[in-house]
């Protein structure tokens, strides 16, 4: 299972939101690059970087933060937030990211996204499904849709994709624990996918639980910044579980 700390960026600073609400924003001291180096020093190999300015404005904004992290660390980075154009995908890859995170475009503009797939390949994309009561939301969680998470996954697995992360918006940033039942149900329905849990992780026990039900990874955000899970604890967790990185 991949442990994937999240760095959410607004105006070049590390922040965390509660339930995707920009009015409920906490800013943290270390710059994104400094935070990334701390994760790397703890033995982490993956990083989830979100351009929240880009998600809100519909245009990738924090390019310099991405480039600094990929240039100065060996972390495998996935990056998203405001990815709307083919040139965004190309620039993210050229900047050194391992994966391009696509969410809203996969919901609202599937034909364009599938053109990107043909050019860059399925293995370049980490597809995000942000859900509220089982229904997808887009554009920084501001817009609703008529698409259920099951319909979404079914459509894209049929197109050859197998790597997804799912965020339960109600649980994001509020320390109520991840949506174990939702993830378990999705893994039973779509056994071929690699599903990464996102939202709600608040303790090491949550990580054990997600590993137990078969999640391919867990994105961890506010729990780290609020020191509910320390970097030392993550380091020990990795050492105790050789399959975890």
**Residue 51 designated active-site:** no
DSSP 149-165: HHHHHHHHHTTT--EEE
Residue 39: helix, strand or coil by DSSP?
Answer: helix
Beta-bridge mates of residue 144: 137
Question: Of residues 51, 53, 78, 130, which has the active-site annotation?
Answer: 130
Tokens of 65: 């933060």
Question: Of residues 2, 8, 78, 172, which has the active-site annotation?
Answer: 8
Q: What is the DSSP letter of 169?
A: G
User: Of 235, 226, 236, whose CA–CA distance to 174 is shortest?
Assistant: 226
Identify the residue whose tokens are 């245009």: 59
**Residue 130 designated active-site:** yes
User: Of 175, 166, 169, 224, whose CA–CA distance to 196 is shortest?
Assistant: 166
Q: Which residues carry out catalysis?
A: 8, 130
């Amino acid at each position: 299972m991949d442990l994937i700390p999240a760095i959410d960026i607004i105006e070049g600073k590390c922040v965390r939101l509660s339930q995707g609400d920009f009015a409920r924003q906490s800013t943290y001291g270390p710059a994104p690059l400094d935070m990334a180096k701390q994760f790397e020093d703890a033995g982490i190999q993956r990083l989830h970087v979100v351009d929240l300015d880009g998600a809100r404005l519909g245009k990738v904004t924090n390019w310099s933060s991405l480039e600094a992290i990929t240039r100065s660390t060996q972390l495998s980075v996935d990056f998203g937030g405001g990815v709307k154009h083919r040139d965004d995908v190309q620039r993210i890859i050229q900047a050194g990211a391992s994966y391009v995170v696509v969410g809203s475009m996969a919901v609202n503009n599937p034909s364009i996204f599938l053109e990107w797939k043909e050019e860059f390949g399925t293995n370049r994309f980490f597809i995000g499904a942000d859900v509220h009561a089982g229904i997808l939301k887009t554009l920084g969680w501001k817009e609703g849709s008529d698409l259920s998470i099951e319909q979404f996954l079914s459509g894209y697995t049929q197109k050859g994709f197998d790597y997804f992360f799912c965020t339960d918006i109600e649980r994001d940033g509020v320390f109520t624990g991840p949506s174990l039942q939702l993830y378990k149900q999705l893994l039973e329905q779509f056994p071929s996918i690699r599903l990464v849990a996102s939202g709600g992780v608040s303790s090491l026990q949550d990580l054990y639980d997600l590993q137990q039900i078969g999640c391919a990874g867990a994105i961890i955000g506010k729990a780290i910044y609020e020191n509910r899970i320390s970097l030392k604890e993550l380091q020990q967790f990795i050492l105790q579980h050789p399959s975890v990185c």
